[in-house]
Amino acid sequence: MKILGIDPGLDITGYGVIKKNSVKPTIIEAGVIRTSHKEGLTDRLHNIHSQITELIDSTKPDICIVEKLYSHYKHPMTAILMAHARGVVLFSAREKNITIVDYPAKTVKRAITGNGNASKVQVQRVVNKLLGLKDAERPLDVTDALALCLTYIYHTNKETETVKI
């Protein structure tokens, strides 16, 4: 099974594709989609849509995991901009008939680190260790996308184990 994780953002959208194996999950591809502040909103959203569509076409994931929208009362504009990018991501996946699952950030942090209030750096360290990655510099958006994939694997493994009992 191939799992596409996406951490949506208007400036930077992180993505990761993991293949779920019986032994250990392996990374197929991971990276970021960047848009420029110099472009208009519609051009930036079109850029995200085009690149997500190309990613889906090239990797052929079975499922897409996306971070749920959140907002902080001090930064409402951040949530609005993220919502635009998230909407485009959801549309792109749905357009390709891919099942979509979303998780709140706290659920991902809890699944990966055991602490729903873990920092992005803590999540990155654990993801690197779980996937056998060196602690090379990579955007936290990529690590967050990979963490979404791993969270899905953990949640589906728990459900499978529960059914077997």
11 catalytic? Reply is: no
57 catalytic? Reply is: no
Check 141, 144, 159, 161 and give the catalytic one: 141
Residue 115 has φ and ψ, to the nearest 5°, of -135, 115
Indicate the helix (H) or strand (E) that contains 29.
strand 26-34
CA distance 31 to 42: 22
Check 11, 43, 54, 67 and give the catalytic one: 67
| Contact criterion met (CB below 8 Å) for 17 and 54 | no
67 catalytic? Reply is: yes
Placement of tokens 């891919």 in the chain = 98
**Residues marked as catalytic:** 7, 67, 141
